[in-house]
Amino acid sequence: MPFGEAESIMTCNVSNYRVNMNKATKIPKATITRISLYCRQLELIEFDGYRMVSSEKLAWLCQVNPAQVRKDLGYFGEFGVRGVGYDVRELLREIKKILSVNRNWNMGLVGIGNLGSAILHNQNFADRGFYFVAAFDNDPKKIGNRVFPGLEIKPIEELASTVINNEVEIGVIATPASEAQHIADLFLAAHVNAILNFSPTQILVPDCCLVENIDFTIKLDVLTYKLKRELQSGQVERPT
């Protein structure tokens, strides 16, 4: 289905989200990324038995400035006590509410190749409340097989009905770049308004829908660029 046609028939179910999150849309994406990082570190120190943590300690754990921690949290309200710090459990609970990870999310994955299979086997998703409830591929040899965590691989043609029956809320794309836009269109036409895209290409979606692109090769480009600069400046030694 061409993107233009898919866009014309799509009905986005995020009007309440837009009304309730007008202020949140002004919050920098980098802040949300750091808030997620704070959440990870708070979980670790809670596991270690800490009940209180200062902004300085949390900043050190996350490798940011203490003022940045306070500014990031300040977008969402008043937390902690001056001179005392933050109650670890309380702050963790509030951050999970902010990130909406205080509930479970159903996900559907398209593309059961090496990358897709690795994503399905990544226990970190389930540990954080993200559960794969549907899997799809267009390879006749794969369709009907079962993959971890016990999902039967469905044909792409059954994506819409399977998404509805399993209440999929987040679509995950792990297909070749040439197929990514088509799969995104199918997800959006089935009213899945949030997509995690592992395919090495940018996909186009209406403004009412959300996409996070994860291209590992871009990260490697950034890494090699920084490595080259450090080698040239003598900050690191060249491998022999």
Coil vs helix vs strand at 3: helix
Fold of 24-99: Arc Repressor Mutant, subunit A (1.10.10)
Domain boundaries, the chain: 24-99, 104-215
Residue pLDDT tens, the chain, 240 long: 443 334 333 445 433 333 344 444 589 999 999 999 999 999 999 999 999 999 999 999 999 999 999 999 999 999 988 888 999 999 999 999 999 999 999 999 999 999 999 999 999 999 999 999 999 999 999 999 999 989 999 999 999 999 999 999 999 999 999 999 999 999 999 999 999 999 999 999 998 899 999 998 998 999 999 999 988 887 766 665
Q: What pLDDT shows up at residue 57?
A: 96
Q: What pLDDT shows up at residue 238?
A: 65
Instruction: Kindly calculate the radius of gyration of the chain based on its CA atoms and give it in whole angstroms.
Output: 21
How many CA atoms lie within 13 Å of 94's alpha carbon, on the beta-carbon side? 15
Q: What pLDDT shows up at residue 240?
A: 59
Q: What pLDDT shows up at residue 208?
A: 87
Provide the phi-psi class of 144: left if phi over 0, else alpha when psi is between -120 and 50, else beta. Answer: left
CATH architecture of structural domain 104-215: 3-Layer(aba) Sandwich (3.40)
Q: What pLDDT shows up at residue 233?
A: 84
Q: What pLDDT shows up at residue 4?
A: 39
| C-alpha torsion sign, points 82, 88, 90, 93 | positive
Q: What is the pTM of this model?
A: 0.83
Q: What pLDDT shows up at residue 19?
A: 36
